Each structure stands twice: as structure tokens, then as C-alpha cells.
Amino acid sequence: MNILFLDVDGVLNSKQHFLATKVVKVPGTDTLVDADLFAMKKDTNSNNMWCLGYILDKVPDLKIVISSSWRNHYDLESFKELFKICKLDGDRIIGKTPRRFSSTRSSEIHEYLADLNDHITDINWVAIDDHEIFLLEETDRKNQILTDNWVGLTLLDAFKVIKHFNPNFKEPEILI
């Protein structure tokens, strides 16, 4: 099983995105769910979402686990609906990392993987985040891809994720 542990802030949005967008009141929403989806969509960047879609297209069996702090505010159905709005396959989202009092992202990822190992033995995974998750000496550091939080997930970052799962992947030649 191929799994992408996904952060949101600094990955699917960026400091640049927040500087460029204005605070907008939610027009005509009837329910909290509508307001939540409006906020989620507003707080993600379409370019970063496109790069995630590129990854999903090139790694068709990739599953997503939300490791972002957003998991504490939104349920899985909200994430799946956000993906649908962004023309991504929300069914690829299979879970959220557990939240434990004073836990670290790396320990939450390890706990999720340990639970999976009870019934799935062959797991290949990567965590994409804008902050260091693993310490220098940790062997899992090779499973970490860092984004620049000023721009979020880029196509170059997407290539790294794809190569993690498919080392034979060749970056497309783009002529400009």
C-alpha cells in the first residue's frame, strides 16, 4: 500500500497565498458545513491542489492520510468534499493520524503505521510537510519531503513524491 501523509498549511496553501487573498465573509451559506467547505476552499491554493492532483494521477494506487492540524477541525467527509470541489478523488483519503496530547507529528505517523501493520504488511509511505518531522538521525527522514511554506506544493515537490513511489519516473520535458 502506498500512503501519502499530507499536511495542509504550507503544502496546499502558502504564506504567499494568504498575503494575496483577502478575508471574505461567507455569502449565502445556510449551514456550518457550507461555511466550513467555503473556508477550506478559500484557505487552499488551486495551484498547490493541482500539483497534488498531478501526484494522484501519476501514482494511481496512492492513498492519503491527513496529518495536518486541520484534521482537528474538519472531519474526513469535509476533506473528501474539498477534494471533489477541486476535481480530485476524495475516495483516496483513507484516514487521519491520531491526535494525542503533546504528541509529535512523527509519533502520530508512526502510531498510524503501527495500526496499519496489524493487517497490512507491505507499506510504502512518504510525509509531505513544510516543517521538519523527523530528526536527522531518524531512518524515516528519507520518507519526508519538505515544501517551502512561502509557495506550498510545487511541481518539483510533486516529482519528488512520485519518484519516491516510482523511482523510474521521468520528469516531463517542458519547453518554454
- The reported pLDDT for the residue numbered 44 is 84
Residue 176 lies in a domain: no
- The reported pLDDT for the residue numbered 45 is 86
Assign residue 85 the CATH number of its domain. 3.40.50
pTM, 2 dp: 0.85
Structural domain of residue 46, as residue ranges? Answer: 2-165
Kindly give the parts of the chain with pLDDT less than 50.
Answer: 23-25, 30-32
Residue 40 lies in a domain: yes
Number of domains present in the structure of the chain: 1
Q: Which of 51, 75, 84 is nearest to 151 (CA)?
A: 51
Residue type, 9: D
Residue 98 lies in a domain: yes
Helix (H) or strand (E) run with residue 126 in it: strand 124-129
- The reported pLDDT for the residue numbered 24 is 45
Residue 63 lies in a domain: yes
141: left (phi over 0), alpha (psi -120 to 50) or beta: alpha
Residue 175 lies in a domain: no
- The reported pLDDT for the residue numbered 135 is 72
- The reported pLDDT for the residue numbered 94 is 97
Grid coordinates belonging to 149: 511554506
